Amino acid sequence: MQTKKTFSIKGMHCASCVMVLEQSLKKVEGVSEATVNLATEKATVTYDSQKVTDATLSSAVSNVGYQALITEEIRTEDDEQKEKQQELRALRLKVIVSLTLGGLILWGAFPGLMKTAPMFLQNFWVQLLLAVPVQFWAGFGFYRATISALKHRTANMDTLVVIGTTVAFAYSAFVTIFPQLVTNIGIEPAPYFDTAAIIIGLILLGRYFEARAKAGTSEAIKKLIGLQAKTARVVRDNKEMDIPISEVIIGDGIRVRPGEKIPVDGIIIDGESSIDESMVTGESMPVDKVAGDTVVGATMNKTGTFTFKATKVGGETMLAQIIKLVQEAQGSKAPIQRLADLVSSYFVPVVIMLAFATFAVWYIFGPAPSLLYALLNTVAVLIIACPCAMGLATPTAIMVGIGKGAEHGILIKDAESLETAHKINTIIFDKTGTLTKGQPEVTDIISFDGRAQDEVLSLAASIEKGSEHSLAEAIVKAAEAKHLSLSAVEKFKAIPGRGVEGTIDGKRIVFGNKRLMNKEGVDVSSEGDRIGEMESSGKTVMMIALRQAHGEAFKLVGLIAVADIVKESAKEGLCALQKLGIEVVMITGDNQRTASAIGQKLGISRVLAEVLPDQKEAEVRKIQAEGKVVAMVGDGINDAPALAAADVGIAMGTGTDVAIEAADITLISKDLRSVAAAVVLSKKTMRTIRLNLFWAFGYNVILIPVAMGALYPFFHLLLNPIFASVAMATSSVSVVTNSLLLKRKKIS
């Protein structure tokens, strides 16, 4: 059986670690899919649980020098937090020690500065003594990672640091211990302990800042978890008591007082109130709710008091589902990242070759003392080329982007959807329930043959009782409002995109649109004008026809028109999209005239009407064939195939049961403005990623030639290895900071 598991991995530092781990995990027999995320420090593996055990996965990870935390499933968020804090503290100590010692060595060794330093600091042996703990204690992690990488014939960023600093340290130690030998070959014996120590200190400092900033990228999840109520006031055996939320069971009656958080999902049984659902839906206006309405856990009760029955608890609640979805999405990989990963996996070996070349060229052709130039430039190349920031460029931005979406009620299924959304240039909206409220109301009833209007409505409502369509609901509701009695229906059948049919008292009745009437041979031409007039004002007209006995013809007995109100947010939402240069299309099963009337109201010029439900998908593909990147916005239930066919399927969530699986993006609120917000979020995230990649990668590429000495022949300019390490630490920090800036960007 295929199983999917996500677990934490310790010891990763760079994009090449990601590649090494993924390859090692994929090599395990029975593993079909493995993705490793540097920003979340997690691996997600899909495997055959009969062939693969936790132990095999764990050893696949430890074999390449990392640690997997698979079996410790009881670890809570708190434990993880504490552990992270501890790691941060240890890292900070290493940074302080190495920069202090490195600083002292620098003071005693730097030309110009050294004259002010106490004599003993200028002593090479003292410098050696100060450098040893930095190199082998603070820098121990680099060695450990390098050794395990070498065991697997790979190299990573730590390898570059190790080679670079070890070269500097070893040369300096040699100079200190055997000054005579160096003097003999014509070089003044001067060590470079400061270079090695300060490089280590700065790289660790970069990692420290990076780790701190990375913790900020997962803030959205923490916020969501923090939304959860701690206790619930349940009514059991007629007694009210406060119990921890984990003890609430389905069916419990729960009392909510003014200003209290609603603990779990449920249905109001008694009382009414206005509820602030903004934390989950992103919609700022409070919603009025009465008995029978659903409430969502973690939302805030405002003024009223009510009792509700718990229908979903624990991991089933909407909030728990959202948290799970967001976590999974944050760990997923954007296509753009695969490219970055691939590039950085080739980067390290190429850099090592370049470093060798640099050494050789300077040693052979360089000015005297050529050995020194060769050494220092090689170290600079190794340090400047670390592709560390590259591994962070995409995942940190994705984490922030997806988290930000969740805060606005925009649930994005994975990084790929977030990436694709920025390319959307056409959005197709379903009409009913998406652009309109989906709660149509009966506006006109017209009867023929001297029948009463109520009789027509009653017949229609009797048949519609069996349909779940929103039009059916409107008709049944209208009949109920008039307290009409309904008749029993036999042989009921719904004809998708057309209407319904059934038999009442042995008489066959069909109810639906013109297409249905045509099919049954009902002549409606005499009413053409009246129907046309109602349709032109945006109403949907349905016709009812009756057949007295088998073999006779159907006769038109009435018309019922319903109108659906356009959502308040529709106009503004569509306008925002058009401003982004996106073409808006409306698709509906409704007739052309009604559809055009509504399209006109909303400023939509391209209206696809009378599209049968199973043809919506084909329409999406048709527009895609025009070379467009298409998003489809629907209510997620009957539009599923069209949502799946679109490049980005956007489902309008229905509040409680989020159609999470069907769509790429789910908008929890029914507010149409969030469609544009989702597109803007995608655009801003992609811009952040591109800028990140530039910071991470572009400057490596620019500075490697400088470090190799390309500018030396013209300007006598070389890159000091210490500056190389400053630049490299800055790049990681700036990438993560840039991702965090995304949090502050406005998307709606």
What residues make contact with ligand ADP under the rule CB under 6 A? 431-432, 464, 467, 469, 471-472, 494, 497-500, 511-513, 540, 542, 588-590, 613
| Distance separating alpha carbons of residues 400 and 527, to the nearest angstrom | 58
Instruction: Give min distance, CB of 497 to ligand ADP, in A.
Output: 4
Q: Is 440 helix (H, G, I), strand (E, B) or coil?
A: coil
Taking the C-alpha atoms of residue 733 and residue 725, their distance in angstroms, rounded to an integer, is: 12
Cβ atoms < 10 Å from Cβ of 214: 23
Minimal distance in Å, beta carbon 642 to ligand ADP? 10
Distances in Å between the Cα of 106 and the Cα atoms of 94, 176, 197, 205, 470 are 18, 16, 9, 17, 77
Binding-site partner at residue 456 among Mg ion, ligand ADP, none, CB < 5 to 8 Å by type: none
The answer to the question of residue 417 lying near Mg ion (CB under 5 A) is: no
Of 76-84, 269-277, 427-435, 615-623, which segment contacts Mg ion by CB under 5 A? 427-435
The least CB distance from residue 659 to Mg ion, in Å, is 13
- Choose one: 260-268, 431-439, 478-486, 621-629; the region binding Mg ion (CB under 5 A): 431-439
Of 64-72, 277-285, 430-438, 536-544, which part binds Mg ion (CB under 5 A)?
430-438
Q: CB under 5 to 8 A by kind: which of ligand ADP, Mg ion, none does 655 bind?
A: none
Residues present in the chain in total: 748
Structural contact between residues 374 and 459, judged by C-beta atoms closer than 8 angstroms: no
Where would I find the beta strands (DSSP E) of 375-454? Answer: 410-412, 426-430, 441-447
Q: Measured between alpha carbons, how far is 293 from 277 in angstroms, rounded to an integer?
A: 13
Residue whose CB is less far from ligand ADP, 43 or 476: 476
| Minimum CB distance to ligand ADP smaller for 159 or for 588 | 588
Q: Peptide bond preceding 335: is omega within 30 degrees of 0, i.e. cis? A: no
Q: Which is nearer to ligand ADP, 270 or 468 (CB)?
A: 468
Q: Smallest gap, in angstroms, from Cβ of residue 270 to ligand ADP?
A: 33
Q: Which of 35, 273, 420, 432 binds Mg ion (CB under 5 A)?
A: 432
Active site residue ranges: 430
We find the least distance from the C-beta atom of residue 587 to ligand ADP, in angstroms, to be: 7
> Quick one: what does residue 471 bind among Mg ion, ligand ADP, none, with the CB cut-off 5 to 8 Å set by partner type?
ligand ADP
268 close to 308: Cβ distance less than 8 angstroms: yes
Query: Binding residues for Mg ion, how many (CB under 5 A)?
Result: 1
C-alpha–C-alpha distance, residues 76 and 40, integer Å = 15
Token pair belonging to 610: 């009378």
Residues 6+ apart with CB under 8 A from 332: 35, 37, 44, 398, 414, 415, 416
Q: Give strand pairing partners of 236.
A: 239
Between 13 and 431, CB nearer to Mg ion? 431
Q: Give the residue with the Cβ less far from Mg ion, 432 or 540.
A: 432
Q: What would the two tokens of residue 27 be?
A: 């090599």
Q: Which of Mg ion, ligand ADP, none has residue 376 at its interface (CB below 5 to 8 Å by kind)?
A: none
Q: What's the closest the beta carbon of residue 492 comes to ligand ADP, in angstroms?
A: 11
When the beta carbons of 496 and 698 are compared against Mg ion, the nearer one is 496
Nearer to ligand ADP, 434 or 692 (CB): 434
Give the three-class secondary structure for 354.
helix
Q: Which does 431 bind (CB under 5 to 8 A by kind): ligand ADP, Mg ion, none?
A: ligand ADP
**Cα distance from N-terminal residue to C-terminal residue, the chain:** 44
Applying CB under 5 A, the span of 40-48, 63-71, 414-422, 425-433 interacting with Mg ion comes to 425-433
CA–CA separation, 295 vs 279, rounded Å?
13
The closest residue (CB) to ligand ADP is: 589
**DSSP per position, 712-730:** HHHH-----HHHHHHHHHH
Tell me which of ligand ADP, Mg ion, none is bound by residue 542, counting a contact when its beta carbon lies within the kind-specific cut-off of 5 to 8 angstroms.
ligand ADP
CB of 534 vs ligand ADP, minimal distance in Å: 12
Per DSSP, helices labelled H in 38-156 are 54-63, 77-109, 124-133, 140-151
Residues near Mg ion, by CB under 5 A:
432
